[in-house]
Structure 1
Amino acid sequence: MLPIVEVFSKYKAKLGEGPIYDRDNDRLFWVDIEGKKIIIEEGITKNSVEKIVNLPDLVSSLCVINETEVIATIRHGFYILNINTGGLTKLLEIETDLKDNRFNDGKCDPLGRYWAGTMNMKKSGPTGNLYKLESNKISKILGGLTVSNGLGWSPDNDKMYLIDSPVRKVYVFDFNLNRGEIYNKQVLIDFGSEPGNPDGMTVDEEGYLWIAHWGGGKVSRWSPNGKKVFEIKMPVTYVSSVTFGGEDLSTLFITSASKDDEVQSGKLFMVDVKIRGLPSYKFFYNK
């Protein structure tokens, strides 16, 4: 039996992205990049209440710090947001000289480092880069990307995954968790004849990758060896990202972008996949 895809959110995003589940507080965060908003779904496993936080510029990803604070990538910078007061504090900025660039996808690793990539908004060249924020110190890790996207780690943290959407490739690196370093870049998945471009992604506890197909109307599951084993057809074309949530992390939450002729586009969806995902990790900030 095919899993049932359900609409979860009331909010309809222009460009939904970056879903992150905060297991400690049973809430899910996601962003509307072009709407300049963070959406908070409080009480995933019970009755959900939706809260909207307005921001001054394009917001593309976030990580939870604690019960009241998150850190988000907004245009060229990392900002700390108090979700109760709306107070926003700039931590640092990069690439302010690259006007066609902005931050895109980002996630925290198990030791609380924030990995976030930039993209060329015109998709005109490989001006994007991947950065690592460790407390308040930033390092450039990788260059030559067009749209740095979907990030993830294997269950034993010896591999890291990264997507470059326009070139339609999913890369795998050897990952040293203690040092926070990546080595030996290889192509794990070439999207080839797959519909759409690979966008956001997440990893389950079996080490399989779940990838959103931007323009392809589905989410696909791939083995650690790069073989497709399963896919979920979506009722919308522009599927942007995925994360696991819920009490046992077996519910897949899926973001999307608005398309004029698709009523459900821009919504946050949920699917009970009966496969447990890996948790979202918090940002470690030593003030």
Structure 2
Amino acid sequence: MTPINDIRCTLGEGPLWHPERAEFFWFDILGGKLHSLNRSWTFDEYVSAAGWVDRNTLLVASETRLFVFDLETGGQRDLCPLEADNRITRSNDGRADPQGGFWIGTMGKHAEHGAGAIWRWYRGELRKLFGDISIPNAICFAPDGRSACFTDTPTRRIMRVGLDAQGWPAGTPECWLDLNADGYNPDGAVFDAAGNFWLAQWGAGRVACYGPDGAFLRAVSFPASHTSCPAFGGPDLTDLYCTTAREGHATPAPLDGATFCVPDVGKGLQEHRVVLDA
């Protein structure tokens, strides 16, 4: 399997296929970089995830804030602070939701136990949804928009929670998929159009696919053990992208930290647009 380019990320994350640009983006969190196939941008703090606002605009989550980023000019406009008064934490996994909001997880820079949280920004409001999180991951949304999934990676449990009409959690999260018996570490995830759940498994070098009932269906293997987050892209949304990391390897292999694309894996969903107007 060949990487999409020569970039090797210390901690690849936040893959995003921009539907209006037909362009793929991803982050190197610890490198403070946003990448596309044709160019890269460097920031003065950690950056981890984004949602698309329009053709030229992303909402980006950083170490201390959410900000609006112009892909053409490089201009930035702060949207709101994100745990800016907490020097311990940074942002991690995040994704736009079907209602136009944006979910983002925070965690300790050294994975301090329980230091993080999961937040949602929606039409001008940033609200903490869940606290006491160590490593937030797998934030994604069922095709019908009525439920969300997330995980705290060390627990090896994928949680699922119902959503109300505005996309706020309704009820208490429940364990939908428990990986403790299998020993897999859940990282980033995304749903496909059929309601299948595609989950990167850190340390296992694969993205595993589970059916709507949680049953294991198949796995796509990658030549880098620390697979971190999948995303569907390409003209028909049938290509599976996956970021990986060099972090955690005393002696990284040549493909650790690369980003990969596997064609014709399944039928993905278009990433949801973030609505900025209140």
The two structures have a TM-score, normalised by structure 1, of 0.91
- Alignment: residue pair count: 275
Q: String of CA shifts for 1:80-100, please: whole Å, max 9, x gaps.
A: 111222222222113233322
For 1:48-67, what aligned pairs fall within 5 Å after superposition? 50-67=38-55
Separation in 2 of the partners of 1:248 and 1:150? 23
Could you say which residue in structure 2 is the equivalent of 1:140?
Answer: 128
Unpaired runs of at least 5, structure 2: none
Query: How far did residue 103 of structure 1 move?
Result: 1.2
Partner residue of 1:126 out of 94, 110, 114: 114
Range with bigger deviation, 32-41 or 122-131: 122-131
How far apart are residue 195 of structure 1 and its match? 4.9
Coordinate RMSD, CA, aligned: 1.6
Please state if 1:236 is matched with 2:221.
Answer: no
Contact 2:159-2:177 within 8 A present in 1 as well: yes
Instruction: Judge conservation of contact 1:20–1:243 (CA < 8 Å) in 2.
Output: yes
SS of corresponding position for 2:155: coil
Residue of structure 1 equivalent to 2:262: 271
1:225 equivalent to 2:216? Answer no
SS of 1:243's equivalent in the other structure is: strand
Tell me the distance in 1 between the aligned counterparts of 2:268 and 2:78: 32
**Which residue matches 1:46?**
none
Separation of aligned partners in 2, 1:194 and 1:36:
33
Could you give the per-residue CA deviations for residues 43-78 of structure 1, whole angstroms, max 9, x where no partner exists? xxxxxxx21011111001011111221111110210
Percent identical pairs in the alignment equals 25
Unaligned runs of 5+ in 1: 42-49
Measured in 1, the distance between the counterparts of 2:193 and 2:142 equals: 8
Where do 1:190-269 residues align within 5 Å? 190-258=178-246, 259=249, 260-269=251-260
Distance in 1 between residues matched to 2:5 and 2:170, nearest whole Å: 36
Change (3 A) 1:122 1:184: same
Distance 1:195 1:218 in 2: 13
Q: How many Å separate the matches in 1 of 2:172 and 2:264?
A: 32
1:5-44 equivalences under 5 Å are: 5-41=1-37
Identify which of 267, 275, 278 aligns with 1:284. 275
TM-score by length of 2: 0.93
In structure 2, the CA distance between the partners of 1:179 and 1:58, relative to structure 1 (3 Å rule), is: closer
In structure 1, give the amino acid aligned to 2:224: V
Match of 2:70 in 1: 82
Letter in 2 for 1:271: V
Contact 1:53 1:83 in 2 (8 A): no
In the TM superposition, residue 177 of structure 1 has moved relative to its aligned partner by 3.7
| Matches of 2:80 and 2:244, distance apart in 1 | 29
Amino acid paired to 2:239: T
Amino acid at match of 2:29: I
Task: Decide whether the 8 Å contact of 1:9 with 1:268 is kept in 2.
Answer: yes
